[in-house]
Structure 1
Amino acid sequence: MTGKLYGLGLGPGDPELLTLKAHRILTSCPVVAYPAPDTGPSFARQIAADYITSAQLEVPIIVPMRVERFPAQDVYDQAAETLSRHLDAGSDVAVLCEGDPFFYGSFMYLFERLAGHYPTEVVPGVSSMMAAAAGLGRPLAARNDVLSVLPGPLDDDQLQRGIEAAGALAIIKIGRHFARIKALIERMGLVAQAGYVERVSLAEERLMPLAELTEDRAPYFSMILIYKGEERWHPAISQALGSGV
């Protein structure tokens, strides 16, 4: 009998946004793995910290935080080999994933290496996109609106085509691309319809209309939501939230 592999979605950061199922599995697995940068703490572990005990074996998966490309395949190959040893020994393994495991989550790379060899279960989590909409108080999409998710590293032409084609948008991974993306949104005349969210659900979260943000850079955990659809989600909703009303 081998152990079972779990991919646990932890949500956007607030520990109370863990599902009951994720909490149950997390607290019962003898081995807990999570992605961690080569410098600084693991965000996934920080979310789950109150639920991890000293009786559990922790396995950090070191993922270099670099602008330039790094040998990602080697990282996940090595992590899969390490986790397979625990699974072969009969231990269940919970892999922690901020947000949702299959929504731009790193767990999918372990899944493709291990799921064919071990019983595997993926537990969905609250995505940062859903949390951002809740925080801004603006629905993501309604009726027949087309909702698109656009990664910020796309070039301006690709972003513009994506923005033009959709009725509602979430632009993620904006980080160091923020100034360029905001300038594009301004050129397209959509800044009044855009909301900005930073570190949603955490104590240091920021929620405001994009037009009010004066900085020219944003942290990694930030997002822009735009609504262009037929419903009249008025920007004043975000204005009120941003002003603390």
Structure 2
Amino acid sequence: MSGGVRTQGTIWGVGLGPGDPELMSVKADRLLREASHVAYFRKTGRTGQARRILEGLPRADAVEIAMEYPVTTEIPFSDPRYNEILSAFYEESAARLRALSEAGQAVVVVSEGDPFFYGSFMHLYSRLKDNCPVEVVPAITGMSAAWTATGVPITWGDDVLSVLMGTLPEDALVEHMARVDALVIMKIGRNLVKICNALRRAGRFDAAWLVEYAAMADQTVQKLSEAGDRVAPYFSIIVVHGNGRRP
């Protein structure tokens, strides 16, 4: 009877970049083409942006693991049930990946943008890192693609850049907006009117740009003042450029 110990498989958290497959790293491309198991997040009933980006990369016999969010915007973040439901989801997903690792299987878990920048993979990482080998592959963020799409550098010289979540209270947004030189605002969606009000109060509205679907086929770039009051799509970012010291 063999007394050998099975080696655990590595869980790879791989960033896919902002949306254009050509902006994916060489390492991410290699891992995806070699992977026997590929996991990704998506809304129930949707293909998911991560799955669309990696289309054609996994080998034909790769096992796909779709981790479907039980809730996204159906209940507010402030509702205690929101964290309870998502926590149970991440525990279940992590347990599934842990079982594969313990069986000696490596799994590539893909994320849009960078896995450690507001990515869902972070919640798996914190639950897996002490029980199985986990490696993270960084990537270009969506905000980098967004400010590049405007054709204007985001920071100059000593400019200070702040990344804000549109889910913050309006007063908190105003405070941060007035304090720094350059801004990136994410999680816009239904918060667009509140964000616009905060930008006006901070005196930054006229300098703001709205970029939708950065680095994707349907990318749009416009001054925020021309966008009107509406619900912005999920892949939307507001950019306010710095204008600091230059040689």
Give the TM-score normalised by the residue count of structure 1. Answer: 0.90
Between stretches 82-91 and 97-106, larger displacement belongs to 82-91
Work out whether 1:194 is the aligned partner of 2:174.
Answer: no
Q: Residue 25 of structure 1 corresponds to which residue in structure 2?
A: 31
Q: Residue 123 of structure 1 corresponds to which residue in structure 2?
A: 137
Give the percent of matched residue pairs that are identical in Structure 1 and Structure 2.
37
Q: Is the 8 A contact 1:193 1:228 kept in 2?
A: no
Q: Residue 72 of structure 2 corresponds to which residue in structure 1?
A: 65
Q: Residue 132 of structure 1 corresponds to which residue in structure 2?
A: 146
Between stretches 200-209 and 96-105, larger displacement belongs to 200-209
Structure 2 CA distance for aligned equivalents of residues 157 and 131 of structure 1: 28
Shift of 1:231: 5.0
Structure 2 CA distance for aligned equivalents of residues 41 and 231 of structure 1: 45
Shift of 1:9: 0.3
Q: Is the 8 A contact 2:18 2:141 kept in 1?
A: yes
Q: Is the 8 A contact 1:38 1:65 kept in 2?
A: no
Shift of 1:144: 1.4
1:42 corresponds, among 41, 44, 48, to: 48
Work out whether 1:7 is the aligned partner of 2:21.
Answer: no
Shift of 1:227: 2.5
Work out whether 1:221 is the aligned partner of 2:228.
Answer: no
- How is 1:227-238 mapped onto 2 (pairs within 5 angstroms)? 227-230=241-244
Q: Residue 78 of structure 2 corresponds to which residue in structure 1?
A: none
Amino acid at match of 2:65: V
Amino acid at match of 1:47: I
Between stretches 31-40 and 58-67, larger displacement belongs to 58-67
1:164 corresponds, among 175, 178, 182, to: 178
Work out whether 1:53 is the aligned partner of 2:67.
Answer: no
Q: Residue 81 of structure 1 corresponds to which residue in structure 2?
A: 95
Shift of 1:228: 4.5
**Secondary structure at 1:94 match in 2:** strand
The RMSD of aligned alpha carbons is 1.4
Structure 2 CA distance for aligned equivalents of residues 42 and 211 of structure 1: 30
**Secondary structure at 1:105 match in 2:** coil
Aligned length: 232
Shift of 1:167: 0.7
Work out whether 1:211 is the aligned partner of 2:217.
Answer: no
**Secondary structure at 2:13 match in 1:** strand
Shift of 1:212: 1.6
Structure 2 CA distance for aligned equivalents of residues 167 and 46 of structure 1: 35
Amino acid at match of 2:162: S
Structure 1 CA distance for aligned equivalents of residues 245 and 64 of structure 2: 47
- CA spacing shift, 1:11–1:186, aligned 2, 3 Å: same
Q: Is the 8 A contact 2:199 2:205 kept in 1?
A: yes
Structure 1 CA distance for aligned equivalents of residues 56 and 245 of structure 2: 41
Structure 2 CA distance for aligned equivalents of residues 8 and 96 of structure 1: 5
Shift of 1:52: 2.0
Structure 2 CA distance for aligned equivalents of residues 168 and 131 of structure 1: 15
What's the CA shift string for 1:216-238, capped at 9, x where partnerless?
Answer: 22111101111354258xxxxxx
Amino acid at match of 2:26: L
Gaps of 5+ in 1: 233-245
Give the TM-score normalised by the residue count of structure 2. Answer: 0.90
Q: Is the 8 A contact 1:17 1:126 kept in 2?
A: yes
- How is 1:87-126 mapped onto 2 (pairs within 5 angstroms)? 87-126=101-140
Structure 2 CA distance for aligned equivalents of residues 33 and 15 of structure 1: 17
Structure 1 CA distance for aligned equivalents of residues 179 and 198 of structure 2: 15
**Secondary structure at 2:56 match in 1:** helix
Q: Is the 8 A contact 1:152 1:172 kept in 2?
A: yes
